[in-house]
Amino acid sequence: MSQKDPVAIFAAIGMAFFFGFSFIFTRSALEYIEPIHFLGFRFLLAALVVNFLRLIGIIKINIPLRRWKEIMILAFFQPVLYFICETIGIQMTSASEGGMMVALIPIFTVTMAAIFLGEKTPWPQVFSIILSVTGVLIIGFMQATQEIGQNFFGLLVLLGAPFSGGAFSNLSRYFSRNFKPIELTYIMMNVGAVFFLGLSLVQHLYRGQWSDFLQPLEEPVVLAAIFYLAIFSSVVAFFLINFALSRLPASQVSAFPSLTTLIAVSSGVLILGENLYWFHLLGAVLIIFGVWGTNYFTPRQFEKRPVPK
C-alpha cells in the first residue's frame, strides 16, 4: 500500500535532520542576537550561496521575470509569514506553546491538500498523521511551563505558523508541476533575504543602533549558527522538502517534520546534556510509528510526478 520513492523519502528524512539540529545552533546564537536580526543574516548568506551557485553554473534558474509573481506567494508563506508568526508568537507565549502549535502543520497540510489539490487521504494514513502529531504534542505539553494559556492573542499569532506551513506544503506541491525544486528554493531564499534583512535594517535605523548592526558577527557562536542555518537548514533543507513535495503527496510529506522534534530532543540530550524523560520516549515511539504509517498507507494509485527539466 505504500508509495515507493526512496529518493524522495530520503530527501524528506534529510530535511527533518537538518531542521532538527538547527535548534541547537539557534538556541546558542539568540543569546547574542535578536531573532529578526539573526534571520536577516541567515537568509542573506543563503541568498548569496544560491546566487553564487547560479553564477558559476552549478544550478540553472529558468524563470521568466513575469512568472516570479506566481511563486512569490510561496515565499510569502514560507519563510516570511511562517517565521514572523513563530518568532512573535513565541515571544508572546513560550517555546513549548510554539512547539505544540507547529506540530499542527500536518493537520493543516492534509486538510488543504484535500480541499485545494484533491488529494485523498485514507483513514489509516490520517490516523498515522494524528499519531505523529500526538507524539509531538505530548513532548511539548510535558515540557511546558506555567505560562501556557496566559496569552490568548499570542496563541492566535502562533496559529499562523502551522497555517503558513500547511499552505507552503501545498503551494510547493502545486508549483512543482511547472518549476524545479531548486527554482522554488532560489526564490524563497532571495525573498527571505530581502524581507528579513530589510526589516532588521529598519529596526536598527529606528533605534539609532546602526553602528551595532555587524557587532553580533564578532561572536563565533553566531557565525557558526548563521553558517549552519543558511547552508544546511535553509538552502539544503528547503530544497529537500521542495524536492520531496514534487514527488510525493503533500499528506505523505507532512508527517516527516514530526521527526524534527524527535531529532531536536535527541540532539539536546546527546550534545547539550539535557535531561531525558519518559514522555520523550513515549513521544518518540508515537512519532516513529506515525511517520512509518503515513508512508505505508499512502495509496498505491498515486503516481509519482516527474520533476520538471
Task: Identify whether the C-beta of residue 181 lies closer than 8 Å to the C-beta of residue 239.
Answer: yes
- 293's grid cell: 504509517
Closest CA to 188 of 81, 290, 56: 81
The residue type of 19 is F
What is the DSSP code (8-state) at residue 304? P
Closest CA to 257 of 159, 84, 83, 136: 136
How many residues are given for the chain?
309
Digit-coded pLDDT (tens) for 26-73: 878 888 988 899 999 999 999 999 999 999 999 999 888 778 888 899
What pLDDT sits at residue 223?
95
Residues of the chain with pLDDT under 70: 1-4, 93-100, 140, 143-152, 272, 274, 295, 297-309
- 72's grid cell: 512569490
The ranges assigned to domains in the chain are 6-296
| Residue partners of 6: CB distance under 8 A and separation at least 6 | none
Alpha-carbon distance of 166 to 89, in angstroms, equals: 17
What pLDDT sits at residue 81?
95
Q: Go through 133-167 and write b for each residue having 16 or more CB atoms within 10 A of its CB, e for each that does not.
A: bbbbbbbbbebbeeeeeebeebbebbebbbbbbbb
What pLDDT sits at residue 100?
65
Cβ atoms within 10 Å, residue 298: 24
Closest CA to 39 of 233, 206, 238, 236: 233
Alpha-carbon distance of 214 to 41, in angstroms, equals: 10
End-to-end CA gap in the chain: 29
Alpha-carbon distance of 209 to 291, in angstroms, equals: 46
